Amino acid sequence: MFTETPFIRKKKRNEVIAKCFFGFMAAAMVIPLFLIVGYIVVQGAPAISWEFLTENPRSGGAKGGIWAAIVGTFYIVFFSLAFSAPIGVLAAVYLNEYATENWFTRIVNLAVVNLAGVPSIVHGLFGVGAFVYFANFNDGKKSIIAAALTLAVMTLPVIIASTKEALSAVPRQFREACWNVGATRWQVIWKIVLPNSISGILTGVILQVSRTAGETAPVMLTGVATYKLLDSTGLFLYHPIKDQCMALSMHLYYIATQANNVPKATPFAIATVLIGVVLIVNAAAIAFRVYLRSRKKW
């Protein structure tokens, strides 16, 4: 009794094979990440210096630094999220907390899902029509605001979806408890739902930071120039409405494919900085999230 039969041995062998196979797949997932990031950083690191980060590009990008592109990326990320985060979060609150299932919410949900699947270049074309020409912020020329709005439209559906997810993770019983002492929906949202879902909501927004910083095609069409230096006299480094800006993603594309006489390390250095910028923004947001989450326990 309780001894191993050949049949059991065979099952155990299959178990080992399955485990190794799945484990290998999981490992395979990690390898490219380290290879890509490692390769880029190793290639780019020698070219990164204080001057590279803080000087403007010279000689068509072949010499000098990338300061203007760093600032431009921050501008685009900031303005884009300034539109998409509040609108997205509020829309998700409406869909999750107020709306009942009817034709209107079905259409909205359908739009959210399908917008998330539209390729970014299509968003770019839409941005040209809607924000550059129709909204006409800058006399029919590209502008930072147009690029930011284009990216906001692109990230909105994802923020809505992730926020809805975070909101519906708040246990139903908390809501019931509130309804049954006569709380209005707004009171439930403000006092219970938002405080308990804010960290999840932030996660969704944070993920869009890297997407916003990395997109090239839509911003190239709507607000990013290959060469646009900072106005050193003005209060703003760039004017969000009247100026185009440089961006790391676009600069990387330009340097890697269009510019002449560029040192081999420069594109890798730009890529390293782009990754670094995203990591820094994410790290700050994650630290904030950890702080918020530490106050929540149920």
Partner 1 sequence: MTTATLNPPAAAGVDYAITTRDLKLWYAKFQALLGITCNIKKGQITSLIGPSGCGKTTLLRCFNRVNERYGYVTTTGEIKLLGKNIYDPDVSLIELRKSIGMVFQRPNPLPISVYENVVFGLRIHDEQGLKKSDYDDAVEKALTEVGLWNDLKDRLQMKATGLQLEQQQKLCIARLLPLKPEIILMDEPCSALDVGGTRAIEELMFALKGRYTIVIVTHNMAQARRASDECIFMLMGELIEHTLTTEMFVTPKNQKTAEYIEGRYG
* Binding residues vs partner 1 (CB under 8 A): 100-101, 173-174, 176-184, 187, 191-192, 196, 296-298
Q: Report the distance separating Cα 288 and Cα 294, nearest Å.
A: 10
In whole angstroms, the minimum distance from the beta carbon of 289 to partner 1 comes to 17
In whole angstroms, the minimum distance from the beta carbon of 97 to partner 1 comes to 11
Q: Which is nearer to partner 1, 145 or 202 (CB)?
A: 202
In whole angstroms, the minimum distance from the beta carbon of 64 to partner 1 comes to 54
Q: Report the distance separating Cα 281 and Cα 76, nearest Å.
A: 13
Q: Report the distance separating Cα 233 and Cα 19, nearest Å.
A: 63
Q: Which is nearer to partner 1, 31 or 181 (CB)?
A: 181
- Give the dihedral sign, CA 45/46/52/57: negative
Helix (H) or strand (E) holding 63: strand 63-64
In whole angstroms, the minimum distance from the beta carbon of 33 to partner 1 comes to 36
Q: Which is nearer to partner 1, 5 or 173 (CB)?
A: 173
In whole angstroms, the minimum distance from the beta carbon of 190 to partner 1 comes to 10
Q: Which is nearer to partner 1, 95 or 271 (CB)?
A: 95
In whole angstroms, the minimum distance from the beta carbon of 79 to partner 1 comes to 35
In terms of Cα–Cα distance, which of 143, 91, 289 is closest to 207?
Answer: 289
Q: Report the distance separating Cα 201 and Cα 81, nearest Å.
A: 13
How big is the CA angle at 147 (ends 263 and 63), to the nearest 5 degrees? 15
Q: Which is nearer to partner 1, 83 or 174 (CB)?
A: 174
Q: Which is nearer to partner 1, 173 or 261 (CB)?
A: 173
In whole angstroms, the minimum distance from the beta carbon of 185 to partner 1 comes to 9
Q: Which is nearer to partner 1, 11 or 296 (CB)?
A: 296
- Give the dihedral sign, CA 72/73/76/81: negative
Find out whether 215 and 185 touch, Cβ atoms under 8 Å: no
- H helices within 181-247, ranges in order? 185-188, 194-214, 217-222
- H helices within the chain, ranges in order? 6-44, 50-54, 67-93, 103-116, 120-127, 144-168, 172-179, 185-188, 194-214, 217-222, 248-257, 265-294
Q: Which is nearer to partner 1, 117 or 182 (CB)?
A: 182
Alpha carbon distances (Å) from 60 to 114, 140, 222 = 40, 26, 21
Structure tokens given for 145? 């605001």
In whole angstroms, the minimum distance from the beta carbon of 290 to partner 1 comes to 18
